[in-house]
């Protein structure tokens, strides 16, 4: 299904009946990666998965958005489809958007599920400096080379320091804004029931970051899934989905 939200042609999928669960995917992901999860949740809920601007089949913003703009977009999207979310499920950067949007009342929900949520950014200061240095160095070293060779070499340099910036090349400026925006203060303002689920082997948003958010969100639940990485819901669906369903049905 498609709808125009804040002048952006927006793609979303909707299935099931019951209370509405809105899924916010992570960076460089889209609704297609959530079809199996949606099919399971749709047995008991009205599940909406929206392609966030710049990902999947939704138009990219014309300016460099940050978490505030993405949160405002989610609020506008829900208003446009005349829907009130019972629960938000946010994965990775989608979790950071959910935290910011709920804290700032860009949208509302009665439940929040954070799957391998991003948003603890302050600990990345050293890593961000490394990415910035490598980015600058990579541009200087590859300047004389043909454009196709430049892209290949720069991609290798960025991947070496763990940067996701070039996973979606046309959103580089947005990526820079997003990865420097910490949501810990926002998390401390949340008052709704929240479940945090993190993969024990997650290297992108490690368990320690989940514990930090858990300690900030009053009354939240926290689960660590052995043998799962950054996509715990895909690595261990038989573990993660029952946890989510049980929490949403309380």
Rounded Cα gap, residues 248 and 242, in angstroms: 10
In 3-state terms, the chain is what percent helix, strand and coil (to 5)? 45, 15, 35
Between 49-63, 75-89, 146-160, the lowest mean confidence (pLDDT) is in 146-160
Q: Comparing C-alpha atoms, which of 189, 188, 168 is closest to residue 179?
A: 168
Query: Residue ranges of the domains in the chain?
Result: 2-121+181-248, 124-175
Beta-sheet pairing, 111-115 with 87-91: parallel
Q: What's the pLDDT at 123?
A: 58
Locate the DSSP E strands across the chain. 2-5, 8-15, 20-24, 46-50, 87-91, 111-115, 194-199, 221-225
At 156, is the secondary structure helix, strand, or coil? helix
> pTM for this one?
0.85
CATH class of the domain comprising 2-121+181-248: alpha beta
Mean pLDDT over 127-136 rounds to 47
Q: What is the pLDDT of residues 162-191, one digit of tens each?
A: 455 556 667 889 999 999 999 999 999 999
């Amino acid at each position: 299904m498609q709808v125009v939200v804040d002048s952006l042609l927006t793609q979303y999928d909707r299935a099931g009946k019951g209370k509405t669960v809105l899924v916010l995917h992570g960076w460089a992901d889209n609704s297609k990666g959530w079809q199996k999860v949606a099919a399971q949740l749709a047995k008991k809920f009205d599940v909406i998965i929206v392609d966030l601007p710049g990902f999947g089949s939704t138009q990219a913003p014309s300016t460099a958005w940050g978490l505030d703009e993405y949160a405002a977009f989610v609020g506008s999207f829900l208003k446009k489809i005349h829907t009130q979310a019972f629960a938000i499920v946010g994965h990775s950067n989608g979790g950071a958007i959910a935290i910011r949007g709920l804290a700032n009342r860009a949208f509302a929900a009665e439940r929040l599920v954070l799957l391998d949520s991003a948003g603890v950014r302050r600990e990345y200061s050293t890593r961000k400096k490394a990415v910035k240095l490598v980015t600058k160095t990579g541009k200087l070293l590859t300047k004389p080379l043909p454009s196709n060779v430049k892209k290949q070499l720069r991609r290798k340099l960025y991947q070496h320091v763990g940067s996701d910036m070039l996973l979606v090349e046309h959103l580089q400026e947005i990526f820079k804004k997003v990865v420097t925006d910490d949501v810990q203060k926002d998390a401390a303002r949340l008052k709704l029931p929240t479940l945090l689920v993190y993969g024990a082997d997650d290297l992108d948003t490690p368990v320690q970051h989940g514990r930090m958010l858990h300690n900030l969100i009053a009354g939240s639940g926290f689960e660590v899934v052995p043998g799962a990485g950054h996509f715990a819901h895909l690595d261990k669906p038989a573990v993660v989905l029952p946890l989510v369903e049980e929490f949403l049905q309380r």
